[in-house]
Structure 1
Amino acid sequence: MQVLGERGTRVDVFEGIFMVFLALGTLVGVVVVAYTLYNAYKYRDTDERKDDESLPTLGELPTGGKGGKKLFLSFGISAIIVISLVVWTYGMLLYVEDPDDEFDQDPVEIDVEGDGFAWHFEYANGAEATGTMNVPADQPVAIEVTSGDVWHTFGISDLRVKADAIPGEYDDTWFMAEEAGAQHEIECFELCGDFHTQMTGTVNVMEQDEFETWLDDQLTLDVTIETEDGEAITNVTDEDFQLEIVHQDNDEYDADLEYTRDASDFEDGSVTIDEIEQGGEYDLTITFEDDDFETIEDTVGITDPASETYTVGDADEDTDDDANGTENEADDDETDDEDDDGGEN
């Protein structure tokens, strides 16, 4: 699938530049060496005296060469070649820096942070990963690189990617991997500390359908509710209850990031929420209709597959315990008063 212009991927661009310079360098080298050998042979030292106007004479300026036309011609051709190479190479590098106009489809956006001698990745939907960057084949990937501690340099040699990771600054670049199933090593190219050589990672290239499935599966939440005895809540009560999670930044998104599950959705005390559209911090609330159990409130981070287990206690028992505690405190106060009276007598 061709999703870029004729200039192709970063690998295509840099290999193209290399091959052009190699070809021209080889051509120029062959011409220069051949011309040098030709003149060395032509003006070799022999016993014969040749009547040649262009033959140089020791101590005199050469008078041949047709007024230096060859010299100026060689300079002119060299200048044209060098200027053309500079202009062409500059245009190719501008494309590498900003190829957005030539993308046939939207790139996958990934934020990259170097921190603690590891690479951390966050996708546009809020999913996060450490060490392994999963990307789709034949689709541009736009990355924004920064650092959480010291200076690093994010690099993928196979894909010709290199970007500075500096605290408080962001470096944008892109790449595209073409072979599904391939893996490419991520390295740090800036000496950053004792474990610099261990600051590596992997780019895992997946089929596009496989990547989309993986990305969706990252934002799932499994919730289990059980009693203090370890019994599934649905096995010990018929009471209706509701599980609700709401994104803490819900107002900042166009979609309504609020998801609910009723008791009928639970099986053996467990339920899975797998339609979450945006990762992040969620406020979780479990409420019981008849107040037989206490309401549960929690904050859950959903940036990769999450699983939470909650234990419910009998609200009546808690109330009785509180009442008993109050009565015991009252008895203790009465005893203290009697002791005080006895002491005064």
Structure 2
Amino acid sequence: MQVDTRVDVFESIFLVFLGLGTLVGVVVVAYILYNAYKYRDDGEATTDDSVPTLGELPTGGKGGKKLFLSFGISAIIVISLVIWTYGMLLYVESPEDEFGEEKDPVEVEVTGDSFAWYFEYENGAESIGTMRVPADQPVYIEATSGDVWHTFGVPDLRVKADAIPGEYDETWFMADEANTEHQIRCFELCGNGHSNMLGTVQVMEPEAFEQWLDEQLHVEMEIVNQNEEPVTEGYEVELVHVNNDQYDEDLRYTYTAEDFDNGTITIEDIEQGGEYNVTITFENDQIETIEDSISVTSGPSETFEIEDPNAANASDDGGNTSDDGGTDDGSTDDGSGNESADDGSGNESAAAEVMAE
């Protein structure tokens, strides 16, 4: 089923009013010109009693039938236009019944703040400045503001919504052509940066959009020791959404060292973005448990460093090795098995002098 976009609706209203306005204008102007020609002053006297004289009300006209006919036709046209336009605007306000199941809407929360636009999708993914949407699918937006009054608007798509602090203004749009971009502007004077409060609606193929949306919830995690060497065994990582109790499904994910590849893992099974508490526990009791948080909104990458005593001992052992070819006091071998030393003034020691003699 073909669903009209907001652009289709408003263009239809515009074209209908333009067509009827042009038709009425042509008829009115033509009638004026006709009467101007018919009742022109040609310099000849007339004896027609039906022609009114100056200051006299016209008589006749068949009882005003023309007047009532013109008013009647005008009323029918105007009332029909009002009813039809009202129905079209009702569709713009509540189009859900027309979409059907095949038009699964995308929900985006739009926030205007500090002369920039922030977008949060239904799965928790976020973006700044660029709103990515699928082609030929309705997009529901809830607009709000983090500072002052703004107005979110996309002229090409005939959409506009007030962004007011503490309130949400709901509207929708649908872009029917993929691989196109449309400019976002603020239509409420909001401060010195108002003219630069711009953004972009990027229309993507539905498959490409779903892939991009899923990639925003991928998390790259790396666990290293204090020597920046990957830790490959003996730990477990747990991620729990901070608002886990508010969702129907359990947003808790657990991974062991075996799930990591040389201390690194790319987590791809997270279904809801947002803030997650991260807990890393170790089999070695000497290593402290790590408790941290991570924001899963736009493909984050995190590195966790642990204090591994085994790695520290290995580092200390490597630093205690010495060179067998010399001693710490600066003495050198003279080639005969006897040591000589420098007294610091450039002269050899007494022992070295005896050997030389």
TM over 0.5: same fold?
yes
Q: Give the Cα separation in 2 of the matches to 1:285 and 1:77.
A: 77
2:288 is aligned with 1:273: no
Deviation at 1:82, TM superposition (A): 1.1
2:44 is aligned with 1:61: no
Letter in 2 for 1:97: E
Letter in 2 for 1:32: V
CA contact (8 A) 1:291 1:315 kept: no
CA contact (8 A) 1:116 1:149 kept: yes
Structure 1 residue matching 2:212: 3-state secondary structure: helix
Aligned partner of 1:222 among 211, 220, 223: 220
CA contact (8 A) 2:226 2:308 kept: no
CA contact (8 A) 1:292 1:316 kept: no
- 1:313 aligns with 307
- 1:139 aligns with 137
CA contact (8 A) 1:127 1:304 kept: yes
Q: Give the Cα separation in 1 of the matches to 2:65 and 2:136.
A: 53
CA contact (8 A) 2:226 2:311 kept: no
Structure 1 residue matching 2:148: 3-state secondary structure: coil
Deviation at 1:186, TM superposition (A): 0.4
Residues 1-345 of structure 1 aligned to structure 2 (within 5 Å):
2=1, 4=3, 8-104=4-100, 105-234=103-232, 239-315=233-309
Q: Give the Cα separation in 1 of the matches to 2:156 and 2:238.
A: 45
Structure 2 residue matching 1:30: 3-state secondary structure: helix
Q: Give the Cα separation in 1 of the matches to 2:310 and 2:227.
A: 17
Structure 2 residue matching 1:291: 3-state secondary structure: coil
Deviates more, 1:15-24 or 1:59-68: 59-68
Q: Give the Cα separation in 1 of the matches to 2:282 and 2:252.
A: 19
Once the two structures are superposed, residues 259-313 of structure 1 have per-residue CA deviations (whole angstroms, 9 ceiling, x without a partner) of: 1221112112111111101011111011111325322110111111111101111
Letter in 1 for 2:44: E
- The change in CA–CA distance for 1:77 and 1:3 in structure 2 (over 3 A counts) is closer
Q: Give the Cα separation in 1 of the matches to 2:43 and 2:307.
A: 116
Once the two structures are superposed, residues 189-225 of structure 1 have per-residue CA deviations (whole angstroms, 9 ceiling, x without a partner) of: 0000000001110000000010001101001111111
Structure 1 residue matching 2:261: 3-state secondary structure: coil
Deviation at 1:3, TM superposition (A): 5.3
Q: Give the Cα separation in 2 of the matches to 1:3 and 1:246.
A: 42
- The change in CA–CA distance for 1:79 and 1:53 in structure 2 (over 3 A counts) is farther
CA contact (8 A) 1:282 1:301 kept: yes
Q: Mind listing any 5+ residue stretches in structure 2 that lack a counterpart?
A: 313-357
CA contact (8 A) 1:112 1:120 kept: yes
CA-atom RMSD in angstroms: 1.5
Q: Give the Cα separation in 2 of the matches to 1:150 and 1:103.
A: 34
Q: Mind listing any 5+ residue stretches in structure 1 that lack a counterpart?
A: 319-345
Under a length normalisation based on structure 2, what TM-score does the superposition of the two structures give?
A: 0.84
Deviation at 1:55, TM superposition (A): 2.0
CA contact (8 A) 1:55 1:62 kept: yes
CA contact (8 A) 1:154 1:188 kept: yes
- 2:329 aligns with none
Aligned residue pairs, count: 310
Letter in 2 for 1:150: V
Q: Give the Cα separation in 2 of the matches to 1:317 and 1:74.
A: 97
Under a length normalisation based on structure 1, what TM-score does the superposition of the two structures give?
A: 0.87
